[in-house]
Amino acid sequence: MPMNAEPLDPSDVALLLDRWEAMSERYLPGRPRLVDHLLAELRSLDSDLAILDLGCGPASLLAAIATELPRASLIGIDNDPVLVALGRRNLDRFAGRADIVDSAIDPGWSVHVCANGPFDAVVAMLVLHYFPAADWPAMLEEIRSVLRPGGLLAVIDVVDEAGGEILHAADDHAGPTWTQWWDLAASIGGRAWPDAFAARAARSVPESAEHHPSLSELTSLLDRAGFDTVTVAARSGPAYLMIARTAARST
Ligand SMILES: C[S@@+](CC[C@H](N)C(=O)[O-])C[C@H]1O[C@@H](n2cnc3c(N)ncnc32)[C@H](O)[C@@H]1O
């Protein structure tokens, strides 16, 4: 911690995480229900899972998985310094089995997490749409390459049913907007994480490409990336949970 930084009170951490969830549901309608479906899928696999969260943000999904699966080992990857700082605080209580790698998800990103893999599951919630269409084939292949035989990729995201209007679809939602959440984060977290905010300002944090393939386009992409089975496990309006599995090793 920098010399003049003030530690963030647990109640402030809890407030930021609570507001993050409320903000995220504005953009991902039915988020809690989709997460519950995902947790049920993961519970059905095993208890000693190795799980990677791509673009984990403040690690709310990682924390939910760690709570649900007390023997799972978890790693997230993200390169927003403020979200990484908040996410690491969120994962404090799971020390030794959950952490975050501060790294861009650029081609070759898997080298940063290979020591934690191969993985039984990779989860990507509200993240893949950050990447332009041209990046998806290689991204999905790289995800498949870090999965064990029979492993699964869970994508939670939204389809663009409203012709690019997704981000305004929930204007009446009670949660904060993205900008309001960041204002709150700066007012609460700015003194605790001055270095992270400075790094965020200096670093080009990812801008979303807002690429939202249809479910059939995504199914084809996953198929072409070498996944064996692809299913839409749950829907909530424009939001979906898609599960793609790699082929189990033949005996
Ligand atoms: C909308 S947030 C979702 C965070 C988290 N999955 C959740 O649902 O709470 C998108 C996340 O993806 C991360 N992200 C986007 N593009 C990235 C990239 N190229 N490298 C690393 N992280 C990236 C952002 O920093 C951010 O934390």
pLDDT band at 67 (very low <50, low <70, confident <90, very high): very high
pLDDT digits (tens, 9 = 90+) for 206-221: 789 999 999 999 999 9
**% of the chain beyond a pLDDT of 90:** 84
Whether the per-residue pLDDT at 243 is higher than 80: the answer is: yes
Q: Enumerate residues lining ligand 1, CB below 6 A.
A: 24, 55-57, 60-61, 78-80, 83, 104-105, 125-127, 130, 206
Q: What is the pLDDT of residue 1?
A: 54
Ligand 1 center from residue 249 Cα (angstroms): 31
Query: Can you give the pLDDT at residue 174?
Result: 74
Whether residue 200 has pLDDT greater than 60: yes
For residue 149, pLDDT beyond 80: yes
Distance 125 CA to ligand 1 centre (A): 8
Give, rounded to a whole angstrom, the gap between the first and last alpha carbons of the chain: 51
pLDDT of 91-145, one tens digit each? 999 999 999 999 999 999 999 999 999 999 999 999 999 999 999 999 999 999 9
Residue 58 Cα: closest atom of ligand 1: 9
Q: What mean pLDDT, rounded, does the chain reach? A: 91
% of the chain surpassing 70 pLDDT: 92
* Fold classified for 10-245: Rossmann fold (3.40.50)
Residue-level pLDDT at 164: 45
Q: Find the 229 Cα to ligand 1 centroid distance in Å.
A: 26
Average pLDDT rounded to a whole number, residues 28-57: 95
* Lowest mean pLDDT, pick from 4-18, 109-123, 147-161, 165-179: 165-179
Mean pLDDT highest for which of 1-15, 100-114, 164-178? 100-114
Q: What pLDDT score does 151 carry?
A: 96
pLDDT in tens, 220-232: 999 999 999 999 9
Q: How far does residue 230's CA lie from ligand 1's centre (Å)?
A: 23
Is pTM beyond 0.85? Reply is yes
Residue 165 has a pLDDT of 45
